[in-house]
Amino acid sequence: MNRLLYESILKSDLATFLKLVRETETLITERVLESLNTVLHLAARFGHLELASEVLRLCPEMVLAENVELETPLHEACREGHVEMMKVLMAADEGVVGKVNCRGESAFFVACEKGRMEVVKHLIGFQWLLMHELDAFVCSIHVAAAAGHTEIVKEIIKVRQEFARKGTSEGYSPLHLACSKGQIDTIRELLELDQDLSCLRDHNGWTPLHWASMKGRVGIIGEITSTSRESVDIVTNNGETVLHLAVKYNQFDALRYLMETLNVTELVNVQDNDGNTVLHIATAAKLTTVVTFLLKRGVDVNAINRKGHTALDVVESDSSNSTALQIVPALLEHGAKTCHQLPPTSRDIQEHHFTITRSRKHNIFDSPTQQQQHYRRHKKKRSKQIELQNEGLRNARNTITVVAVLVATVTFSAGLNPPGGFRQGSGKAEMGTKASFKVFVVCNIMALFLSLGIVNVLVSVIPFRRKSMMRLLVATHKIMWVSTMFMASAYIAGTWTVLPGGSGSRWVVIELMVIGVGCMLMVLLGLSVLLVKQWSRKQEWRRRKEKKMMKDGSPNGSVNSRVDEMNFVKNNYSRESSSNSDIDSSDHGYHVY
């Protein structure tokens, strides 16, 4: 757009504007780069009424001009609240009222978003504007409620009362949005209209009270519960109560208000779909203040979740955390126990159904109590084995890291101090032209960068599952073998380089190669034999386990059909055995990888 024309519009200099347009008629149709705003867009935005009227006189069709966002000058006037400008534009062409931008927003929508009450009162007479929003996900009442424009919300409800229940694409009603943003006046207005609005649920099953609890808005919680006490008992799709959300999002004031002022202590031991109470959530998040508060309010300190864990189990799983060290004494003071310390009757929900069923069928035990005791001993032993294996894997990971650093250090030093040294004058390697030196350099570089690669991988990847750890160790272990072989080759080549010429030196190199390669082969052969034996034991163990499970799982000692057999093996064998087959199949206390 012409600079002088742009300045005349900004200053509302009508005389200069008319002069420029008379000199060049096409100037009136020029647009601002990028935004594509016309002179009428700018005049409407700044409220220059006389200038806009003159533009419409010279070029009436510009009232329908659209910028890059498909907005007309009426959008600009309504957004800024210029009522008289809006009337002038609508007088030029009333059809401009129905124009929407690229987001489907009308001029009425942007006025509601900005809280332009006078504009809304004038436009709300065009009832078809709200009818246009019946099929839209986000409506004028949603943006008005979220922004706290209570009077505008009231005006819209007067015309279309059903909009109070209209949801967005996520299922948020106007009351959801007002609670999320803390608009207390709008909330009061909506609840006065219909108290049942507090029980509306979004697509996650969250009510407005859930949102208020998650945001920690104590005043809104009190407002909603004073009109609709039953909304407190509604849970989300994940089975979470208002207390779960308050703890999950660390809103201690909301939790204290709910439990002390509203006295919703009956919810304190409610479990979500994962079996977690609010105490499980608090201990997992290491919320010391919340844990202390809950312990004083009669929470069940030994409730067990779906994983079979109490709150003490949850916090002890990360005992290295300094905050955890503060929570554990508080739990123990109130009688907290781990799942293994609880009596069998309190742990029925975590007992293994398949093991109990099998033992009953074969009359292995004389009573249910003996069954439970056997199961506890078996689980304790297995847990100990798994922990020992995990510790061994961690030690192997640390060992590989140390060896990789050592190889990198040695090869780095050898690279800076090559065999034969440097020439005093040029600084070049003394033996640089010899073939053996070139072999040394290549092998040394390969050993160095392979080791550095291993170090970078091991310090960057932190696997938390056994299988992931095994895959990582197998990969880095193989690379470490290659790296050490290159280092050994570099040593032989470096020795060859510095030995004097002659047949004697050649025999020395041959002897070194025979000794080095022989040692490597012996180690590789021994490890390969161990690996084959372990693989054979594992396959045999799996076959025995499969046969035993199939026998125990069928009422008649066999599976009815091949399909049943495959389903049984898939559902039981893979779940029970594959994840720790290395432990169960090994009878030496170690396994090769």
Q: Would you list the DSSP string of 340-385?
A: GGS-GGGGGGGS-HHHHHHHHHHT-SSSHHHHHHHHHHHHHHHHHH
* Phi, psi for 263 (deg, rounded to 5): 55, 55
Task: Note whether 29 and 41 are within 8 A (CB).
Answer: no
Same domain, 516 and 479: no
Domain shared by 365 and 486, yes or no: yes
**Does 493 share its domain with 515?**
no
Q: Which two tokens stand for residue 62?
A: 């510009």
Indicate whether 153 belongs to any domain: no
The residue from 459, 475, 498 where one domain ends is 498
The pLDDT of residue 562 is: 42
CB 478 within 8 A of CB 528: no
Domain boundary among 478, 498, 518: 498
Domain membership flag for residue 484: yes
pLDDT of residue 375: 58
Do 574 and 483 lie in one domain? The reply is: no
In angstroms, rounded to a whole number, what is the distance separating the alpha carbons of residues 366 and 581? 30
Domain assignment of residue 543, yes or no: yes
**How many structural domains are present in the chain?**
2
Residue 367 located in a structural domain: yes
Q: Does residue 493 lie within any of the structural domains?
A: yes
Spatial neighbors of 207 by CB under 8 A, at least 6 apart, are 176, 198, 199, 200, 201, 231, 234
Is the same domain home to 494 and 570?
no
Check residue 297 and give its pLDDT. Answer: 85
Q: How many H-runs (helices) and E-runs (strands) does the chain carry?
A: 29, 0
Tell whether 337 is covered by a domain. no
What's the confidence (pLDDT) of residue 237?
93
Residue 76 is encoded by which pair of tokens? 């600009």
Domain encompassing residue 462: 351-498
Residues 367, 448: one domain?
yes
Mention every residue, 6+ apart, whose C-beta is less than 8 A from residue 474. Answer: 593
From 592, 476, 474, select the one nearest 538 (Cα to Cα): 592
Which stretches of the chain drop beneath a pLDDT of 70?
A: 318-324, 344-389, 425, 464, 466, 501-509, 512, 548-593
Q: Integer distance in angstroms from the first to the last C-alpha of the chain?
A: 72
User: In this structure, are 491 and 364 located in the same domain?
Assistant: yes
Instruction: Please check whether residues 403 and 510 belong to one and the same domain.
Output: no
* Domain co-membership, 394 together with 486: yes
Q: Are 179 and 187 in contact (CB under 8 A)?
A: yes
Please indicate, yes or no, whether residues 516 and 488 belong to a single structural domain of this protein.
no
**Same domain as 514, residue 484:** no
| 445 and 561 both lie in a single domain | no
Provide the pLDDT for residue 388: 67
Residue 217's pLDDT is what?
92
* Domain limit, last residue, from 498, 516, 548: 498
Per-residue model confidence as pLDDT tens digits over 567-588: 444 444 444 334 455 555 555 5
- Burial (CB count <10 Å: 0-12, 13-18, 19+), residue 60: exposed
45 within domain boundaries:
no
- Is the residue at 71 inside a domain? no
